[in-house]
Amino acid sequence: MRQWTQPDFEDNTKETNLSSETCHPRRKFVFIKTHKTGSCTAVNIFQRYALFHRLSVLMPTGGNLLAWPFPPAEHDYVHTPDEQYDVLLNHVVYNKTWLRSKFPEETAYISIIREPSSQLRSAFNYYSLLKLLKIQSQNPVQMFLQDPWKYKHRSEAYFDFCNVTWDSTRNFLSFDLGYPTEAAEDKERARRYISELEADFTLVLLLEHLDESIVLLRRLMCWEVRDVLYDIVSKNNRSYPYKSYSPTAEELANLRRWKAVDYLLYDMFNSSLWRKIAAQGSDFFEELRYFREVKKRVGTFCHSSKQRSHPPSLTIKASKWSRQFAVDAKYCSSIQSKEIQLGKYIRKRASTKDKKDRSVMRVASNVLRIVKGLPTVKYKAQA
């Protein structure tokens, strides 16, 4: 895996945004990194921005996971001397009360979601749901969708260490954004909660419309085009037999009933995205075409330069939406990195060592513990 070296910060104070006369870059933001939604691709943008501008990131004391499903305990994250934070980027379930206690009022809240049926296929593969649900089929998603309620007693996985029931087949997206599993049937409560989320969040990106989402992000945050480019190759792309399976109309109808809250969530933020885009004016789609052209040029350049010992730089000339900027080997490495080692840098700056005993257990690893009949644990060291 290619790792990004720490960037140079000599020119951090120079504003380069063409729209800086009318807006100021927002440098306080929380990115709720949801599961199986393309968040690894999206978080790279926020990690780069935080590093380049030397922002104060609320980081886990150990490893790369901050907390799940509750807010982190005081010993789970690196404390700054003044307890002031600009950014949060890790997996954490949205908890409005806790986040408002750690971040200032002007903080932008951002997340990413995905069409629920494609998210289900990805979850089936990543969380070993064939084992959890005891499905023996070449296409377990197809079998599951014929009657999701048949598997409810298995899909509702109980996590002992936090006394929480979680269902990776049902309203997984909503759970990451703070909606409880046990309220899956309460449509009115779900509608009220999702409306509150729409008011809380500056933007929720949609994986199916990622370019549109990113261009809107750049405008709302008053950032540079060079800040929001992302790699043309997916960061976390896995292959599995049923990845491209298209459910039948009957199966989709079952899924819409089973994942009713997730579909309410997705439909709400899909409408919200296009409403916000419409408010940007006609030149939004001109910038979208420009963004895609630049992304393709930069991606092609970076991937073709990988094998060169002394790759040249690429100059992206100034446009209506961006000042001129150069793309070099360091920039290419940054957008191609699957994981920027933010934790190591932040802990070093805070004079805090990585405490391995505080590394939070991945949800997928705990699911396998459930399959084996073992209790779930918060930290890897407890396994």
Q: Is the pLDDT of residue 341 over 90?
A: no
Q: Is the pLDDT of residue 56 over 80?
A: yes
pLDDT more than 90, % of the chain: 75
What's the angle, vertex CA 79, arms to CA 73 and CA 84, rounded to 5?
110
Position 45 scores a pLDDT of 96
What is the rounded distance in angstroms from the CA atom of residue 352 to the CA atom of residue 346?
8
Between 341 and 336, the more confident residue is: 336
Position 359 scores a pLDDT of 92
What is the rounded distance in angstroms from the CA atom of residue 111 to the CA atom of residue 117?
19
Position 21 scores a pLDDT of 55
For β-strands 108-113 and 164-167, DSSP reports them as unpaired
Between 147 and 4, the more confident residue is: 147
Q: Is the pLDDT of residue 73 over 80?
A: yes
Bond prior to 69 in cis (omega within 30° of 0): yes
What is the rounded distance in angstroms from the CA atom of residue 71 to the CA atom of residue 98?
7
The residues, ordered by sequence, that sit 6+ positions from 302 with a Cβ below 8 Å of its Cβ are 231, 327, 331, 332, 335, 336
Q: What order do you get walking across the sheet with 29-32 strand by strand?
A: 87-88, 29-32, 108-113, 203-206
Q: Is the pLDDT of residue 260 over 80?
A: yes
Between 309 and 237, the more confident residue is: 237
Residues pairing with 206 in the sheet: 113
What is this structure's pTM? 0.91
Q: Is the pLDDT of residue 282 over 70?
A: yes
191-217 pLDDT, tens per residue?
999 999 999 999 999 999 999 999 999
What is the rounded distance in angstroms from the CA atom of residue 85 to the CA atom of residue 317?
35
112-132 pLDDT, tens per residue?
999 999 999 999 999 999 999
C-beta neighbour count of 60 within 10 angstroms: 24
Position 3 scores a pLDDT of 33
Q: Is the pLDDT of residue 17 over 80?
A: no
The residues, ordered by sequence, that sit 6+ positions from 62 with a Cβ below 8 Å of its Cβ are 354, 355, 356, 357, 358, 359, 360, 379
Q: Is the pLDDT of residue 10 over 50?
A: no
Lowest mean pLDDT among 149-153, 278-282, 325-329, 334-338: 334-338
